[in-house]
A and B are shown apart, each in its own frame.
Chain A
């Protein structure tokens, strides 16, 4: 038989491995800094660049795209070559993928602390970086498909299916959700508004979890677990069902992030039902993973790689059971906006992604350096410290979440809110925030131990840049021929089309009706576009990441309408590019903040929240009192907003807008004076106050006007 000799590229695998460790530590430290600020707000050192609202997106982006992203590429570049029995399609594309991805991460690490953000969760990066992500992702996909096409192994193992689904879906999600109109080099407005923006964002947000944190890692599980245990997967048949059911169902589940919001009820119900159905494939996958170890549990006691894998897969099972349960509307009514969600995602992030990444690193480094792990004992310590860290992180935050939810909903016997002051409910859980930081610290200590262990392993061995391999070329069936014909008619293409159809159906069924059927977003005639000063204020709200702690979506519960006012209507957000509903409440909802307090209260509150709200954990925003607002960019901003559909009159931005801005600013300055506060009309705080005082007031202006239909 004709056998070909070729070489696997280990260099790029090592590069991604090192990047995984470095960015993992950076991302976790950013998380710790954010966590500490929740009980010690001064930990921001009064620096705007490291304040919670800006550091939280840095943490989430770093952990998702830098730590898990690099870990994913590391695992895919290693396993794909061996499963295809072929070197990567192009070394150039491999390195383009590597350096491009690192540059994107560096760009994120610079722009997010500077306040350049689109505000859409896990998609915060501004448009030039979005374009760079698309380009690098295309390079990765071409390299992936190129390698699959030139493979020597005829059959594509299930791990490769998961990689293909990841490549296609992330491209679709990223491009659709990043449709935005530039208003400068690092500023843009979402093409979508309000409810539609929310649906697209959470269709993206949920599936970023699904197709960036889950499907590639499932592929990696299906490769590395059998390798580490040295036995085939428990049921290949089950893995087929797992794959197809998962990719088909996942894409529908996004609306479960918007339950009881202004999203039409039919979309909420679809999100809930499909989320519940997800338990079946997810648990199928978990059981398939755990049962692969049947008869090999003695190995689990010895081998740290398997230990990490077992707990990772268990955490996958736990979080994929909990996720659907949280999607049940009644459960969600308690859990949404609380720390319960934060605990849930950290079971996934610390447990599933973190521990599986550690397992891969412990598996790969000795092999790349052709030696044994420097210290198995240290790896075992890492395992236990990580596990303790997870427990200390998650348990207090679960307690905090449930406490918050119950306190927000608690009424007295006479029918009043038991805790009408929101602050009471947060002060109650501050001890839990402290415990959480202890858990996070433990987890990071473990990661440092791993980094040291891997470094010593590398020092003890000798790096093998390429691994020589042999395999027979792939047999070609007579009808397929060679070259392009084979590519077009070969299974990878057919498979890719099938996967694309499976993932697109859910998105199309949910998103298209939202645009085509007008009754989904009933209009309210008194809702008007923001004034120029309010636009600048809103952009400052976005810059500071206020939505990391304050929602703008009052759900139709008595506990919410009593506390915040009338529940939010879809028609109120038609000019919100982007929507700012938020997903967490570390502070009260602001949807009806307008007119609640005098201007001077806001001024003092932003200068030092503890002055107006003793015990508040909100950081100071004193820089907004001294920094001047960016009036020069107003023209570009209004112009961009008009292009996405906000009906400013033609030419408004070229003169009248500045005039209106000055008039409104002077009015606020005069109002501040009555509250014994003196400031200039060109300070950022004036714009922010203008925006906050506008929030939720439109529907009060004309109570009789309203809408044509209900959902």
Chain B
């Protein structure tokens, strides 16, 4: 099956638009890079980042105000 796929790609490859191929590879590379980056981040850092909105630095917290 794999060899069929390879043969298909070799045969049909030339008809795939270069722009499409380039665009797909570009995104694939970019997305893989982002995934690797995101998954290498340390949990401590992620917890710190996630908590940032909760501390606005206000002297009198407004969090108790009910909307």
- Residues in chain A within 8 A of chain B (CB atoms): 5, 8, 79, 82-83, 85, 152-153, 155, 157-159, 222-223, 226-228, 230-233, 236-237, 240-241, 244-245, 248-249, 252, 266, 269-270, 273-274, 277, 303-305, 362-363, 366-367, 370-373, 376, 379, 467-471, 502, 505-506, 509, 513
Question: B17–A269 contact, CB under 8 A?
Answer: yes
**Contact assessment for A270 and B23 in the assembled complex, using a CB-CB cutoff below 8 Å:** yes
22 inter-chain pairs at a CB distance below 8 angstroms, sorted by A residue, are: A8-B58, A83-B56, A222-B53, A228-B67, A231-B54, A232-B50, A232-B54, A237-B39, A240-B34, A241-B35, A244-B31, A245-B34, A248-B27, A269-B20, A270-B19, A362-B67, A363-B67, A367-B62, A370-B65, A467-B59, A469-B58, A471-B57
Asked whether, in the complex, the Cβ of B54 is within 8 Å of the Cβ of A85, the reply is: no
Q: Is the interface of B mostly helix, strand, loop or mixed?
A: helix
Residues of chain A within 8 A (CB-CB) of B63 are 227, 230
Would you give the shortest CB distance from A673 to chain B, in whole angstroms? 55
B38 sits at the interface (CB 8 A)? yes
Partner pick for A82 among B19, B38, B56, CB 8 A cutoff: B56
In the bound complex, CA of A227 to CA of B52 (Å): 10
> In angstroms, how far is the closest chain A Cβ from the Cβ of B34?
4
- Known A153-B52, A157-B49, A366-B67; further 7 A-B contacts with Cβ < 8 A: A8-B58, A152-B57, A233-B50, A244-B34, A248-B27, A303-B66, A509-B26
Query: How far, in angstroms, from A233 to B52 measured CA to CA in the complex?
Result: 10
- Report the separation of the CA atoms of residues A307 and B53 in the bound assembly, to the nearest whole angstrom: 20
**B34–A223 CB distance below 8 A:** no
Known contacts: A266-B17, A372-B65, A372-B67. The answer to whether A227 contacts B23 by CB under 8 A is no
Cβ of B27: which chain A residues have Cβ within 8 Å of it? 248-249, 274, 277
B51 within 8 A of A: yes
A505 to B3: give the CA distance in the assembly, Å: 34
Specify which chain A residues have a CB less than 8 angstroms from the CB of B23 in the assembled complex: 252, 270, 273-274, 506, 509
Query: Given the complex of chains A and B, what is the CA–CA distance between A379 and B66 in angstroms?
Result: 13
- Say yes or no: is B2 at the interface (Cβ < 8 Å to chain A): no
Q: Is the CB of A469 within 8 A of B57?
A: yes
| Nearest CB of B to A605, in Å | 44
Q: Given A266-B17, A371-B65, verify A509-B22 contact (CB < 8 Å).
A: yes
Q: Which residue of A lies closest to B30 (CB)?
A: A248
**Given known A157-B52, A367-B65, contact A273–B57 (CB-CB < 8 A):** no
Q: A85-B57, A304-B67 are in contact. Are A273 and B20 (CB under 8 A)?
A: yes
Interface residues of B in 4-37 (CB under 8 A from A): 17, 19-20, 22-24, 26-27, 30-31, 34-35, 37
B46: interface (CB < 8 Å): yes
Our pick among B39, B49, B62, B66 for the contact of A155 (Cβ within 8 Å) is B49
Q: Chain A residues near B35 (CB, 8 Å)?
A: 241
- Chain B residue numbers with a CB within 8 Å of A505 are 26
- For the complex, give the distance between the alpha carbons of A504 and B60 in Å: 43
Residues of chain B contacted by A152 (CB below 8 angstroms): 57
Residues from chain B with a CB closer than 8 A to the CB of A509 are 19, 22-23, 26
Smallest CB separation, A258 vs chain B (Å): 16
Residue of B nearest to A361 (CB): B67
**Interchain CA distance A155-B65 in the complex, whole Å:** 27
Q: Are A82 and B53 in contact (CB under 8 A)?
A: yes
- A153 CA / B52 CA spacing, docked (Å): 9
A372 touches B66 (CB 8 A): yes
Residues of chain B lying within 8 A (CB to CB) of residue A227: 53-54, 63
Whether, in the assembled complex, B1 has its beta carbon less than 8 Å from a beta carbon of chain A, the answer is: no
Known contacts A83-B52, A226-B53, A513-B19: A241-B38 contact under CB 8 Å = yes
Give the nearest-CB partner of B18 in chain A.
A266
A237/B38 in contact, CB under 8 A: yes
Q: Is B65 in contact with A468, judged by CB distance below 8 angstroms? A: no
> Are A240 and B19 in contact (CB-based, < 8 A)?
no
Bound Cα distance A507, B47 (Å): 35
What's the Cα separation between A367 and B27 when bound, in Å? 43
User: In chain B, what residue has the closest Cβ to A373?
Assistant: B67
CB atoms of B66 and A373 under 8 A apart: yes
Task: Please state if A502 and B67 are interface contacts (CB–CB under 8 Å).
Answer: no
**B51 adjacent to A232 (CB under 8 Å):** yes
Write the nearest CB–CB distance from A303 to chain B, whole angstroms: 7
Contacts of B50 in A (CB 8 A): 226, 232-233, 236
The answer to whether B67 touches A237 (Cβ under 8 A) is: no
Closest beta carbon of chain B to A164's beta carbon, Å:
16
In the complex, the answer to whether A83 meets B59 with C-beta atoms within 8 Å is no
Residue of B nearest to A240 (CB): B38
What are the 6 tightest A-B residue pairs by CB atom distance, in nearest-first order? Answer: A82-B56, A232-B50, A469-B57, A236-B50, A157-B52, A244-B34
